[in-house]
């Protein structure tokens, strides 16, 4: 059930740049809903009738490919979910499933576009933010090339940049408890390959698996796996 809470515009980069009057006009359209871990926000092929933003928690974007699911992206607080499909007015090209307890801010597509069509500056600011999202999606697609080890190295480097924190023992800690299957889905490989790779990395001290996430002791060393 939707709940009435203050709209966290400042924590959502795509909306943070809006002027005060634009925020006031948009606020009545916004609704925040809580999801438990593993709940589906929308499925691949569903009509993109709402634009969504992560307020709290994390969401995986999943697409069926060759009889198996591939995780295209993991989104965290402040990031839009399915925004490109909404702006293109096409069905969602992939599904969205929560990785943990998550709060989602949603805006109905029809009312959203009616509002921005009457506010030129608001549209300009939103499109600028959406362009950045397209760049990030294209970068993620580029990371899906190369060997499984290369793709895994790119994945953990990206996660380290986005959500990593300095670890007490040195290196970077990534506070995301991903299963081996989720890692396999993220890098587009089999579960067996992901298990072998992560076991070897654990033994070699490249990426260490902990109960609450991963430790990358030597980021520069991990980066060498992504160079020719």
- Tell me, what's the pLDDT at 130? 66
More confident residue, 176 or 32: 32
Which residues are CB-neighbours of 78 under 8 A, at least 6 positions away? 11, 12, 13, 53, 54
- Say how far apart CA 88 and CA 220 lie, in whole Å: 39
- Say how far apart CA 120 and CA 27 lie, in whole Å: 18
Domains along the chain with CATH numbers: 9-142 (2.60.120.10), 148-226 (1.10.10.10)
pLDDT one-digit tens code per residue, 90-126 = 899 999 999 999 999 999 999 988 888 888 778 777 7
pLDDT one-digit tens code per residue, 42-99 = 999 999 999 999 999 999 999 887 777 788 888 889 888 988 788 888 899 999 999 9
Q: Is 72 left (phi over 0), alpha (psi -120 to 50) or beta?
A: alpha
- Say how far apart CA 65 and CA 68 lie, in whole Å: 5
**Exposure of 133 in the CB half-sphere (CA atoms within 13 A):** 22
Task: Phi first, then psi: give them for residue 59, nearest 5 degrees.
Answer: -130, 140
- Say how far apart CA 58 and CA 137 lie, in whole Å: 17
pLDDT one-digit tens code per residue, 129-162 = 666 565 555 555 555 567 889 889 988 988 888 7
Under a CB-based contact definition with an 8 Å cutoff, are residues 172 and 215 in contact? yes
* Alpha helices (runs of H) in 97-211, residue ranges in sequence order: 109-116, 120-142, 148-163, 180-187, 191-204
12-27 mean pLDDT = 87
């Amino acid at each position: 059930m939707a709940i009435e809470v203050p709209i966290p515009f400042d924590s959502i980069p795509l909306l943070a740049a809006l002027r005060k009057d634009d925020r006031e006009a948009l606020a009545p359209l916004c609704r925040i809903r809580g999801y438990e871990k593993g709940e589906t926000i929308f499925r691949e092929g569903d009509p993109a009738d709402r634009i969504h933003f992560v307020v709290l928690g994390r969401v995986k974007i999943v697409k069926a490919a060759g009889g198996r699911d591939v995780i295209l992206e993991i989104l965290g607080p402040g990031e839009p979910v399915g925004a490109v499909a909404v702006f293109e007015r096409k069905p969602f090209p992939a599904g969205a499933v929560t990785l943990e307890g998550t709060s989602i801010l949603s805006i109905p597509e029809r009312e959203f576009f009616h509002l921005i069509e009457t506010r030129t500056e608001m549209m300009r600011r939103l499109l600028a933010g959406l362009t950045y999202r397209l760049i990030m999606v294209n970068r993620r697609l580029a990371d899906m090339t190369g060997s499984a080890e290369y793709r895994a190295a790119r994945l953990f480097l990206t996660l380290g940049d986005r959500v990593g924190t300095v670890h007490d023992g040195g290196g970077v800690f990534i506070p995301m408890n991903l299963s081996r299957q989720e890692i396999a889905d993220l890098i587009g490989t089999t579960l067996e390959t992901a298990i072998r790779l992560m076991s070897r990395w654990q033994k070699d001290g490249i990426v260490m698996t902990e109960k609450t996430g991963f430790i990358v002791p030597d980021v520069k060393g991990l980066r060498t796996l992504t160079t020719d």
